[in-house]
A and B are shown apart, each in its own frame.
Chain A
Amino acid sequence: MTGTRPVVALAPLEYRYGLDAAMSLLAAPDPLVADDASSSQPLVLCNVPALAHEVRQRLPHAMVPGPLAAVPGPLAAVPGPLAAVPGPLARNTDAANGAGAVRSALWIEPLTATWEADIKTLAGSVQPGGRLVVIASQPLALLLGKRSLRGNPRPWGQGGGLPAGARIGGISGLLRRLASAGFRLEARYGLHSASAIAANLLDRGLERWGRPDLGDRLHFWARLHYCVPGLMAGMSTVALVVANKVVR
């Protein structure tokens, strides 16, 4: 069933924001492909155990390579919570379903240890013309918020490994490697932008100083500037990358 993660246990907004955007980006109909459940479901590579439930409550039919691919029926039919599956959800580097098996893919949190192998899987799985959406933490994610390691004994999202995008220049390197693997960059966005972060800090201050009316306005301004495109995307906690598999 979709919508099964309790409100009090949801992932930080920027990851949910990215996942929701991905759902729409991956839902775009392709008239050349028959609209059956298997071909329309994206391949999912998720390297953050804490996001497994978020994926599952949006994509109960996701196509997953590796051991889970042998399980008949939709992903949600797998008994027990996905967190119980050994290793990160669907992270599998040696079990592509064959060239052109899927028309879209969602890659969540490339890791420094495995991103090269993941790209090979994706390149071998996504049809020419198919879409790839990448959600990746950026350096700011490790400095601010729930994922921050600073003064936070139990930061959110630990356990998967070092995010490739969290290194300085990590996303740029990832984009170059994706390009060489046959993915053309369509768009890049930053989620939870630096300007939104600054506005939120100020809005909390205004609230404390007795002007919640102004604080609320700043809060809503921050929401409007939560997602930024292009070059400013780097100054945000999470990157959302949209790419297309080149038709050769």
Chain B
Amino acid sequence: MILPATPKAGAAREQGQALPRPDSQAGARVASAAAAVARLDAWLETMRTRAAGAARAHVPRGYGGPVAHWWQQSLLYTGAGLDWRYEGIITGYLELWGRTLPGQHRQDERWLTKARRAGDDLISGQLESGNFAESAFEINPATAGTPHEAACDAGLLRLALELRWTGHSGWESYAACAERNLRSFYIGQLWNPEALMIGDHPWRQSGPVTFVPNKAATACEALFLMAELSGESRWVEEYALPTLRWIQEHQLRGRKPAGGRGRSSSGERLRGAIAQNSIGTRRINKYFPLYNARCISALLQGYRWTGDEGYAESALGAMDFIARFAQGDGSLPTVVYPGARASTTPSWLAPLGDILRAADELAPLGFSADLSATEARLLGGQDESGGFQTARGFADQAGRSRTATRAQALPDVRDVLHVTGWCDKAFRYLASHAGSQIPAGLSAPFETDCILRGRAMHLVETPDLLEITSQGAVCYRWVKGEPWPQIASPEFWLR
């Protein structure tokens, strides 16, 4: 049974529910989250690009660093990325700042200062086209990255809403920046007026219609926020709701499993999963738990807006699918294929924040699976630097190799890398559980043995430097703040 839909988002915001917050947690858990957030905040500071100078006038400012991802890597471009990292960073800082309700004393203004600074990064990095520079995460350098620009918009709009709601000045510039991107890119280029959805490719360009549910969902989140800010329902009615229906069409509905405890069929195990994408009429039947989780918030917003329980059922179904694949150690497969064949190489750490956040959002609707092991796995991914490691198992992504023994013993470089665009997901989730007392945090040097492509290496990260050596020779050196590493041996050219 699904609980009644809450009123439209604007009304929810007035009730203090705009940024969903969980019920009060046990003290120890809150303290643990607060300590983790403090250290993660300290690490995030180390990832800022250096102050602008003549030689940097044409380089975006903001949060940088190398990227490890399922699809590909960006270990060479290390400058600021104006991508989905800003969603978690801005929202996380707003979470920390917005502990108290209006009329009461807001806590530390430094969190708001940091949220605004992140918003200012996006404003200064917005191009004439309305796109953001370096917005393609693992594909950087490039612009017009999806879902990244919509995620930036969502961060900007949350910032604008919070500022306006609390009577602060300056919210208009953040709202205008997001609106410009939504109008020129998402509506102007990606909105397909024939198929009635936000696609993943400018619809006027030749080629098949492409649709990626999780990316479209992020765009829908931004559109709901835009509607709330502007008071114009057309952002939702014309664009978001038709797009949500496309997402639902990519979901495996199927029948509910019959009673009993027998082994469920693969079809039943996949029930509720949302397919990764479609190209023309061809559905790509791969099911990524992380990306399924990233559809949930938009589906819930559709439910709150319309009261249509179908959206809530879709959101719950996607989360049930995810929970069905949770392992005892809290890990989740990166992708599940037809036949319920699951790939756990790699298995995410920092990105788990987005899955746990989605579960939080569904709790008021009755979702109650125990994901405490997944939360423990996330927290276990934080090391001395304060950053969260990315994953485990990258070394086996292409299959077990001759170096399997070593690979099992040592993590891959990409596993232990702290990636801003993953750590923001941990940051946002933990900030929502951290309570109001955030201790002082420190980013300490971190080092570990690791491998890359079978070669034994040693990684050292300090607040100023990321350096990786092999047999005493430096094979990767990135001075934090710089847009490219000074040294990168061919192993690190990997895409």
Binding site for B on A (CB under 8 A): 1-8, 10, 13, 17, 20-21, 23-24, 27-29, 37, 40, 57-58, 60-61, 74, 76, 189, 210, 212-213, 216-218, 220-221, 223-224, 226-227, 229
Contact = CB atoms under 8 A, between A and B. Distances in A.
19 contacts: A1-B58, A2-B60, A2-B483, A3-B82, A3-B134, A3-B136, A3-B143, A4-B133, A4-B143, A6-B144, A7-B142, A7-B144, A17-B493, A24-B492, A27-B485, A37-B54, A212-B284, A223-B72, A227-B494
Contact of A10 (B59, B79, B142, B205): B142
Given A6-B143, A13-B495, A220 B134 contact: no
A28 B487 CA distance: 6
Contacts of A76: 58
A3 B60 contact: yes
Contacts of A10: 139, 142
Given A24-B486, A27-B482, 16 more contacts: A2-B59, A2-B79, A8-B144, A17-B493, A20-B76, A20-B77, A21-B488, A27-B485, A27-B486, A28-B487, A58-B141, A74-B57, A216-B343, A218-B398, A223-B72, A224-B494
A26 B140 CA distance: 18
Interface in B326-348: 335, 337-338, 341, 343
A216 B134 CA distance: 27
A241 to B, nearest CB: 13
Interface string B38-63: 00000000000000001101111000
A229 B490 CA distance: 9
B495 A6 contact: no
B239 to A, nearest CB: 20
Contacts of B141: 2-3, 5, 57-58
B58 A61 contact: yes
Contacts of B77: 20, 23
A8 B335 CA distance: 25
Contacts of B483: 2
A117 B72 CA distance: 38
A61 B493 contact: no
Nearest to A6: B144
B398 A221 contact: yes
B421 interface: no
B141 to A, nearest CB: 4
Contact of A6 (B58, B79, B142, B284): B142
A20 B488 CA distance: 10
Given A6-B142, A7-B143, A223 B494 contact: yes
A1 B285 contact: no
Contacts of A23: 76-77, 484
B487 A2 contact: no
Given A8-B205, A61-B55, A210-B338, A24 B143 contact: no
Considering the complex of A and B, which 8 residue pairs feature the smallest CB-CB distances, nearest first?
A3-B134, A60-B58, A220-B398, A6-B144, A24-B488, A37-B55, A221-B398, A3-B133
Nearest to B148: A7
Contacts of A29: 486
A20 B493 contact: yes
B253 interface: no
Contacts of A13: 495
A220 to B, nearest CB: 4
A189 B127 contact: no
Interface in B223-250: none
Contacts of B285: 212
Q: Which among A4, A57, A220 has the greatest number of chain B C-beta atoms within 10 A? A: A4
Interface of B: 54-55, 57-60, 72, 76-77, 79, 82, 125, 127, 131, 133-136, 139-146, 201-202, 205, 284-286, 335, 337-338, 341, 343, 397-399, 453, 482-488, 490, 492-495
Contacts of A74: 57-58
B144 A221 contact: no
A56 to B, nearest CB: 10
A221 B402 CA distance: 13
B76 A8 contact: no
Contact of A224 (B57, B139, B398): B398
B interface: dominant SS: loop
B490 A21 contact: yes
A76 B60 CA distance: 13
A7 B139 contact: yes
A24 B127 contact: no
Nearest to A18: B493
A38 B495 CA distance: 30
A3 B343 contact: no
A189 B490 contact: yes
A110 to B, nearest CB: 21
Contacts of B494: 223-224, 226-227
A220 B397 contact: yes
A21 B76 CA distance: 7
A1 B127 contact: yes
Given A7-B144, A226-B495, A229-B490, A217 B76 contact: no
Nearest to B394: A220
B431 to A, nearest CB: 28
A74 B144 CA distance: 24
B135 A3 contact: yes
Contacts of A7: 136, 139, 142-146
A224 B343 contact: no
B286 to A, nearest CB: 6
Contacts of A21: 76, 488, 490, 493
B399 A221 contact: yes
B121 to A, nearest CB: 13
B183 to A, nearest CB: 17
B71 to A, nearest CB: 10
B181 to A, nearest CB: 13
B76 A213 contact: no
Contacts of A60: 58-59
A2 B133 contact: yes
Contacts of B286: 212, 216
Nearest to A26: B484
B234 to A, nearest CB: 26
A5 B143 contact: yes
B142 A3 contact: yes
A227 B338 contact: no
Contacts of B335: 216
A238 to B, nearest CB: 12
A4 to B, nearest CB: 5
A60 B60 CA distance: 12
Contact of B398 (A17, A20, A212, A217): A217
A100 B172 CA distance: 51
A154 to B, nearest CB: 11
